[in-house]
Amino acid sequence: MDRRSFTFFVLPSVSVMTMLMVVPLGTTIWLSLTDLLLRDLDNSSFIGLANYSEVLRDPAFWRATRFTLAFVAITVPIEMTLGITFALLLDRVGRGRSIYLAAILLPFIVTPVVGTLLFRNLFSRGGLVSWLIELVTGTPFVIDGSNVRFLIMLHAVWHVTPFAFVAVFAGLQTLPQERVEAAAIDGGKFREIFWHVTIPHLKSILFFVAIISIMDSYRVFDSVFVFAGNRFDDSHTLSVYNSVVALDAKIGRLGKGHAIAVLTVIGIFAALVPFLVRSYKEQIADRT
Amino acid sequence: MKARTKTGRVLAALAIGSLFVAACGSDDEAADTATEATTAPAEESEPEVVLASDECAIPVSADVVAIDVMGWEFPIITQYAAELKECEAANYSFNIQFLDSKEAQNQINLDLATGAPSYEMVQGSNQFIVELANKGLLLPLNDLIDKYRDQFGLDNIPQGMWDLVTVDGKIYSIPMVANTQHVFYNEEVLNKLGIAVPKTYDEAITACPKLIEAGYAGFEMMLSADWAWQIEYDNVLGSLGVKPIDNTTGQPNFNSAEGVKAAQILSDIVSKCGGKTIGTYSTDDVQNAFQTGEYVLGHLWASRAAAMDDAEATTPEVLGKVKFAPALTGGTVLGAPAYVDGYAIPAKVGVDAEKVFLAMLGATDDESQTAAAKFGGVTRSGVSNPEGPRNGEALNVSTSKGRGADQTHPAAAIYRAEIGKALIKILDGASAADAIAAAEAAYLKEAKAQNLLS
């Protein structure tokens, strides 16, 4: 294909990508260098890196960063482990498979905010779990600073595990049974077959699930916003911290909010680079 | 309902009659545009103005006026929303949306800040309206108020109410709800336990062990949201005679002996009265707890008093037994705010602002306020409803002897955000002094960053 044809074919997608990604990113970077306020959108001035300096000196930013990283580090492995486990179990089920499948997928189908509200209500005063705990201990369970982080993570695992499950389960359906049977005839135990046949087959799917889960967890917003609100600002993730700074009616620091957004993007990029480099190298190796 | 219709008809007839008289003696524009009743003959040189109905006595618009309204809901606001809907007879259509108060405020701020608001009308408290006005997001209504002052009897709203929604001489809303906070108590239970109705925060806290020992909740209030902490804190601090910030310079006054004492009183209410669950009750929950007898003593919005006589939602054992007393004090002033709620119009409203204003007038006139008075305090002098709540005296005393209006300095919004966020940590064990110090540091940092201090 000559250069002219190549340009002709890629121009539409490059234009759309530019409009939808490069322009917003450029605008975000520009606004992060201004003192733009929600209460005065018509007037802002260039203030250089002052917003970045303020954000990096803000304990709330580092608190949110720490919790975001902890959230990713704890929830993603659990979600993947449970997803693989459920997929392996369901793969062995013959009768009623569709019922189990629907039941496991249900948390993922529910609208995120609705699911979070339902989940929160279970643990709120008068909720089923709170009531059961009160029956046993005599004291009602209430969401407070000591347990809200645990509940946020528990909700994430409940909500996102079905995604890992369905991807892995789909991958298992493409696993050639001859390979599994051959390994079994050769005396392979379940664990050996799992590590040496199943996992290599699922490698690219697991990589995909990991990348998506990390990105989703890193930018988690709705569940944390619903659970933590302004009451538990120790449990804010970067996205929620950003919204509080930029969009709270009484604060409304849009310039600072854009600086937080830029730093968040840099953070996720840094977190994903090792994965992307490894993936690229493997693809090159596969081709050669 | 019959009484309401009859009253509405009488008021409408009076209004129409007075308008007709005014029209005959005046040739100004206001008189020209809205003078004729439905059945009144039009003068040859003037177009006939057709009023929509008795319930919404405003001119019928030639074109459909579509109005999106955003606000937050409590019983009397629900009634005012119904009054707006009555104005659909004037060729208006209303899409009225309610959110949680904090979310509604964020949503309205964002929408109005875009410069092309999707809401033609917003509803809120004087505190919120002043915050929007300080940002230049609301339309001053002075000219329209002057134009329709006589026709809609706007002088029936006391000047003090107007002052609450006025910034630098510009009026931004028509006050329609008069509100404050005061004490609710179950008289039978307090008499049984020999507890006098408290007049001070100390007396309320002292009563708690006896109440709890008898199996009741202690002295309770809504403390589950940061904004609620801010209002309750301002109540206590105001009762000690201190304004949280200087209304001229914005400099903080709250990190003082009185400021820490006020926070300590709230901390004591949590630890000695409310216990672990006090941070889990919304305003609706507190209201419901009184209606079911779970709460027998507490602090609540006056606008919730009517619900105590709602036979469908109040248990028979409690019905009629909840009484009302003025707000508490920690010093010399009652810890009660002077609040009004009203509708306002965005500065850059996308439709004819006068038509939106007329809808506001139609939904807040004497007839509408008479209907609304069944659910809470209204703003027009002489308007009442025999089926209204029994808290009139507590409301009036609390408002007239209370801490007054919230501050109007542009940095006050930041103060409210930061003090609420800091104080709510008391629920998780923070000390009063630490919370106040943290709030002051956060307030100064943010107010300086926004160049709002002088």
CB contact under 8 Å between A146 and B428, yes or no, is yes
Give this prediction's pTM.
0.83
Q: From the list B135, B226, B413, which residue is nearest A231 (CB)?
A: B226
B420 falls in which pLDDT band (50, 70, 90)? very high
Residues B217 and B280 in one domain: yes
Residues B353 and B321 in one domain: no
* Least reliable range by pLDDT among A56-60, A185-189, B201-205: A185-189
Q: Is residue A11 in a domain?
A: no
CB contact under 8 Å between A247 and B414, yes or no, is no
Q: Are B206 and B212 in contact (CB under 8 A)?
A: no
**Rounded distance, CA B154 to CA B148, Å?**
8
Kindly state the tokens that stand for A223: 């569940």
Count of beta carbons in the 10 Å neighbourhood of residue A43: 9
* B290-330 confidence digits (pLDDT tens): 999 999 999 999 999 999 999 999 999 999 999 999 999 99
Q: How many domains does chain A have?
A: 1
> Between these two residues, A194 and B28, which has the higher pLDDT value?
A194
Q: Is residue B10 in a domain?
A: no
B427 touching chain A per CB within 8 A: yes
Q: What is the mean pLDDT of chain B?
A: 89
B106 touching chain A per CB within 8 A: yes
When scoring B110, B280, B444 by the number of chain A Cβ atoms within 10 A, the one with the most, hence best to mutate, is B280
Distance in Å, alpha carbon of B115 to nearest chain A alpha carbon: 8
When scoring B428, B451, B452 by the number of chain A Cβ atoms within 10 A, the one with the most, hence best to mutate, is B428
Q: Is residue A71 in a domain?
A: yes
Residues B268 and B328 in one domain: yes
CB contact under 8 Å between A250 and B413, yes or no, is yes
Residue B234: give its domain's CATH number.
3.40.190.10
pLDDT at A72: 95
Whether residue B16 has pLDDT greater than 70: no
Residues B233 and B312 in one domain: yes
CB contact under 8 Å between B105 and A249, yes or no, is yes
* B101-156 confidence digits (pLDDT tens): 988 999 999 999 888 999 999 999 999 999 999 989 999 999 999 999 999 999 99
CB contact under 8 Å between A230 and B131, yes or no, is no
Q: Is residue B205 in a domain?
A: yes
Residue A135: give its domain's CATH number.
1.10.3720.10
Smallest CA–CA distance from A44 into chain B, residue: B450
Residues B346 and B294 in one domain: no
When scoring B224, B277, B284, B452 by the number of chain A Cβ atoms within 10 A, the one with the most, hence best to mutate, is B277
pLDDT at B46: 57
Q: How many domains does chain B have?
A: 2
A251 touching chain B per CB within 8 A: yes
**Rounded distance, CA A267 to CA A265, Å?**
5
Whether residue B1 has pLDDT greater than 80: no
A253 touching chain B per CB within 8 A: yes
Whether ipTM tops 0.90, in short, is no
User: In the block, which residue shows the tokens 């090159």?
Assistant: A284
* Least reliable range by pLDDT among A215-219, A224-228, B21-25, B60-64: B21-25
Q: Is residue A42 in a domain?
A: no
A188 touching chain B per CB within 8 A: no
* Least reliable range by pLDDT among A72-81, B4-13, B378-387: B4-13
Q: From the list B137, B280, B425, which residue is nearest A142 (CB)?
A: B280
Summarize the confidence of residues A178-191 as an average pLDDT: 90
Give the domain extent around B158. Answer: 62-174+341-378
Residues B138 and B238 in one domain: no
Taking contacts as CB-CB distances below 8 angstroms, the residues of chain A near B225 are: 229-231
Kindly state the tokens that stand for A208: 């995909």
User: How many C-alpha atoms does B149 have within 13 Å on its Cβ side?
Assistant: 10
Q: What is the mean pLDDT of chain A?
A: 91
Count how many pairs of residues, chain A against chain B, have C-beta atoms within 8 Å. Answer: 78
Distance in Å, alpha carbon of B100 to nearest chain A alpha carbon: 12
Whether residue A88 has pLDDT greater than 50: yes
Q: Is residue A30 in a domain?
A: no
Residues B191 and B316 in one domain: yes
A286 falls in which pLDDT band (50, 70, 90)? confident
B250 touching chain A per CB within 8 A: no
Taking contacts as CB-CB distances below 8 angstroms, the residues of chain A near B277 are: 125, 140, 142
* B318-362 confidence digits (pLDDT tens): 999 999 999 999 998 999 999 999 999 999 999 999 999 999 999
Taking contacts as CB-CB distances below 8 angstroms, the residues of chain A near B442 are: none
A113 touching chain B per CB within 8 A: no
Q: Whose CA is closest to B300, among B190, B426, B164, B204?
A: B204
A140 touching chain B per CB within 8 A: yes
- Distance, first Cα to last Cα, chain A: 23
**Rounded distance, CA B379 to CA B177, Å?**
6
**Rounded distance, CA B120 to CA B346, Å?**
6
User: How many C-alpha atoms does B287 have within 13 Å on its Cβ side?
Assistant: 17
Residues B428 and B364 in one domain: no
Q: DSSP states of A16-69 as a string?
A: HHIIIIIHHHHHHHHHTTB--BTTBTT---B-TTHHHHHHHT-HHHHHHHHHHH
When scoring B424, B443, B451 by the number of chain A Cβ atoms within 10 A, the one with the most, hence best to mutate, is B424
Q: Is residue A149 in a domain?
A: yes
Q: Is residue A22 in a domain?
A: no
Q: Is residue B18 in a domain?
A: no
Inter-axis angle of helices B412-423 and B432-449, nearest 10: 150
B134 touching chain A per CB within 8 A: yes
B194 touching chain A per CB within 8 A: no
Whether residue B19 has pLDDT greater than 60: no
The amino acid present at B452, given as its one-letter code, is L
B293 sits in the region (left: phi over 0; alpha: psi -120 to 50; else beta) called left
